[in-house]
Structure 1
Amino acid sequence: MPAPGAIKTLIADDQQSMRSLIRTSLNALGINQTREAADGEDALRALLAQPANLVITDFNMPKLDGLGLLRAIRAHGPISKTAVIMLTGRADRELVQRAVQFGVNNYLVKPFTTATLKEKIEAVFGPLE
C-alpha cells in the first residue's frame, strides 16, 4: 500500500497535451513526483539518469516506441523492475499481447478517466493510501 506521494513517475508521450492530461490525473491521485519525456529515447535516458517507480508510456511515439522502451527497460538490470503501464489509442489485442510478452505491468486505453488510471495503478502497486 504505497503512499501516492512516494511514487516517482515518468510520463512518456510525444503529445504535450496528453502528458499534461496524465500529469493532472496523477496529481489528482496525490502522485506528484512526475517527470516527462517526449519520446522513448528521452524516456530511457531519463530513467537511466534517475530511476522511477512507474513509467506511463504511449505506444506510438517517434524514435523509440512504447514497446521498444518497454523492452529496453526490461533488458537493463538496474531499471528492469520498473512498473510500466502502456497507453494506447486502440484496444489492439495483438499490441496488448506483445506488451504482455515483454513484461508490461498494465495497459490503459485512451481516452481514460482519472478513476480508470487509479485502477490501473492500484492493480500494479496495490491500494493507494
Structure 2
Amino acid sequence: MPAASAIKVMVVDDQTSMRAMIRVALQDLGFKDVRDKPSAEEALEAVRADRVHLIISDYNMPGMDGLEFLRQVRGDAVIGKTVFIMLTGSSDRDLVQQAAALGVNNYLVKPFAPAALKEKIERVFGALT
C-alpha cells in the first residue's frame, strides 16, 4: 500500500482550469508532490530531468497529443516504465485501443469525479494510504 504523499505526479493538460482541478483532487487524496505542465513537450523535458511515478495526461492537446506523449515516454529507457493515465473528453474505442497498444496503464473520460481518479490510480498502485 503506497502512501499517496510519496508518489510524484506530473499533470499535463493545455487547459489551466483542468490542471488546477486535477491538482486539487490529487492534493485532497493526499498527494504532496504534484507538478503540472501545459504541453506534452514541456512535460517530457521535465520528467526526463526529474522523474515522477505517475503521469496524468490529456489526450487532446495542441502540438504533441497524448498518444504521441505516451509513445515518447514508453520509448525512453529511463522513464519508460512510468505509470501513465490518459484523460480525454471522448470514449472513442479506437483511441482507447491505440493507447492500450502503446502501454497506457489506465484511461479516464472527462468530466470525472475525484473518486473515479482515485480508483484509476489505485488500480495501478494498489490502495493508497
TM-score by length of 1: 0.99
How large is the RMSD of aligned CA atoms in angstroms? 0.5
Equivalent position of 2:41 in the other structure: 41
What CA distance in whole angstroms lies between the structure 2 residues aligned with 1:10 and 1:103? 18
Matched residue SS, 1:60: coil
Q: Secondary structure at the match of 2:51?
A: coil
Distance in 1 of aligned mates of 2:31 and 2:94 = 31
Q: Given the alignment of the two structures, is residue 93 of structure 1 paired with residue 97 of structure 2, yes or no? A: no
Count of residues in correspondence between the two structures: 129
TM-score of the two chains, using structure 2 as the length reference: 0.99
Question: Deviation of residue 66 (structure 1)?
Answer: 0.4
- Structure 2 equivalent of residue 120 of structure 1: 120
Shift of 1:62: 1.2
In 2: Cα distance, 1:41 partner to 1:63 partner: 8
Residue 53 of structure 2 corresponds to which residue in structure 1? 53
Q: Could you tell me how far 1:32 is from its partner in structure 2?
A: 1.9
Shift of 1:8: 0.1
Unaligned runs of 5+ in 1: none
* Runs ≥4 residues deviating over 3 A: none
Q: How much identity, in percent, do the aligned residues show?
A: 54
